[in-house]
Amino acid sequence: MGDAPIRVEGLTKHYRGRWGRRVEALRNLTLSVEPGEIFGLLGPNGSGKTTTLKLLTGLLRPTSGRAWMLGKPAGDPQVRSRIGFLPEESYFYRFLTAAETLDFFGRLFGLGVTERRRRADALLEEFGLAEARHRAVGTFSKGMARRLGLASTLLNDPELVLLDEPTSGLDPMGTREVKDLILRLKARGKTVLVCSHLLADIERICDRIAILAGGSLRILGRVSDLLARRDAVQMTVRGLGEGALDALRAQARALGGEVLSVEPPRDRLEDLFLSVVRGPSAGGKSS
């Protein structure tokens, strides 16, 4: 206890909808994220991922349950200086330029002039905004704004990083960069909690995942454990004709195996995800 950078106990959030209707966005979520790991929070649209992150960062108050970040109750303003949070959508002051925006946040985080400049320059370079540094943020494309959002998330060199759909709006190159970035953060000993629907990426980088559906936790565990099927192997072969495949099948049977499937390779996580999410009572719920 106390060690886990993120600890969530029985977290529940009901939104007050129109006409007194309540939306049950998150139901009794309990989990913890260990130091130095990359934790993936998955789930279909409307399953409560963003709600979870907003509860963690104190943008929302829970209906019941509690959450701690870095040992402090969620929403503690002081803890925010040690956390990097990329919201689902990044909003900036339209009339400030990219450089001024980072400078503004650097000031809020209490960084000195030289430190502010150094980090802003490095981050603008890293996220491919060096050219656009003196352009007003209001003129940025969605992807550029996302890149600026990532840059401002890392500005305070946070020990804990929360990313809500970090690749949304990014081109394939940007998506790749984000993946590399998350791995680099881990290598530097940071803890990362990432929400994403890009399962292939999550599969490769996350240590553990949780899958939410309809506001409740469906599955939680190490990616390797969840995806391992002890009695089956998958062989990915290239350049075999139809005849050769038949011979292979016969060979497998001759050796006492049972051929379960022969198909082009797929993301294994995608299969898991679909089977978990399509289980009973999947999808958004309101009551």
Partner 1 sequence: MRGFYVLVRRELMAYFLGPSAYLFLAGFLAVQGYWCCYLLDIARDPVRGGLDNFFEGYVSGFLPVFMLLMVPVITMRLLAEEKRAGTLETLATAPIGDATIVLAKFSSAFLFYVFLFAMTFSHVATYIDHIVTPTWKILGWTPPYGFLGAMLAWGCLASAAWALGRFSDRDAVWGMVATAAFAACVALLILYVKKAPEGMPDITKIAAGYVGALLLGATLLSVGLLFSALAQNQVTAAILSGSGLGVYLLLSALAGQSRAKIPWTENTRWAEKTWGDVLGYVSMFQRPQAFNAGQVQLDSLLLALSVIAFFLFATVKAVESRKWR
Ligand X SMILES: Nc1ncnc2c1ncn2[C@@H]1O[C@H](COP(=O)(O)OP(=O)(O)O)[C@@H](O)[C@H]1O
Is residue 153 close enough to count as binding ligand X by CB under 6 A?
Answer: no
Is residue 167 close enough to count as binding ligand X by CB under 6 A?
Answer: no
Is residue 284 close enough to count as binding ligand X by CB under 6 A?
Answer: yes
Beta carbons within 8 Å of 159's beta carbon, 6+ residues apart? 5, 70, 82, 83, 189, 190, 191
Sheet holding 22-33, edge to edge: 22-33, 6-16, 64-69, 72-73
Is residue 17 close enough to count as binding ligand X by CB under 6 A?
Answer: yes
User: In whole angstroms, how close is the CB of 154 to partner 1 at the nearest point?
Assistant: 13
CB under 8 A: which stretch of 73-81, 232-240, 255-263, 269-277 binds partner 1?
A: 73-81
Is residue 196 close enough to count as binding Mg ion by CB under 5 A?
Answer: no
52 within 8 A of 41, measured Cβ to Cβ: yes
Query: How many whole angstroms separate alpha carbon 211 and alpha carbon 136?
Result: 38
Question: Which one, 103 or 201, has the nearer CB to partner 1?
Answer: 103
Is residue 52 close enough to count as binding Mg ion by CB under 5 A?
Answer: no
Query: How many whole angstroms separate alpha carbon 6 and alpha carbon 216?
Result: 18
Is residue 57 close enough to count as binding Mg ion by CB under 5 A?
Answer: no
Residue 106: HSE in the Cβ half-sphere, 13 Å Cα cutoff: 20
Looking only at the bridges linking them, the beta strands covering 216-222 and 208-213 are antiparallel
Is residue 169 close enough to count as binding ligand X by CB under 6 A?
Answer: no
Is residue 58 close enough to count as binding partner 1 by CB under 8 A?
Answer: yes
Beta carbons within 8 Å of 51's beta carbon, 6+ residues apart? 13, 25, 26, 60, 215
Residues in the chain: 287
Report the residue from 9, 12, 32, 59 that binds partner 1 according to the rule CB under 8 A. Answer: 59
Report the residue from 77, 241, 264, 280 that binds partner 1 according to the rule CB under 8 A. Answer: 77
Instruction: For the beta carbon of residue 29, count every other beta carbon within 10 angstroms.
Output: 25
Residue 51 binds which entry of partner 1, Mg ion, ligand X, none, CB below 5-8 Å type-dependent: ligand X
Is residue 50 close enough to count as binding ligand X by CB under 6 A?
Answer: yes
CB under 8 A: which stretch of 82-90, 122-130, 231-239, 255-263 binds partner 1?
A: 82-90
- Residues touching Mg ion, count (CB under 5 A): 3
Query: How many whole angstroms separate alpha carbon 50 and alpha carbon 26?
Result: 10
Q: Which residues bind to Mg ion, rule: CB under 5 A?
A: 49-50, 88
What residue ranges bind partner 1 (CB under 8 A)?
15-16, 57-61, 75, 77-81, 85, 87, 89-95, 100, 103-105, 107-110, 113
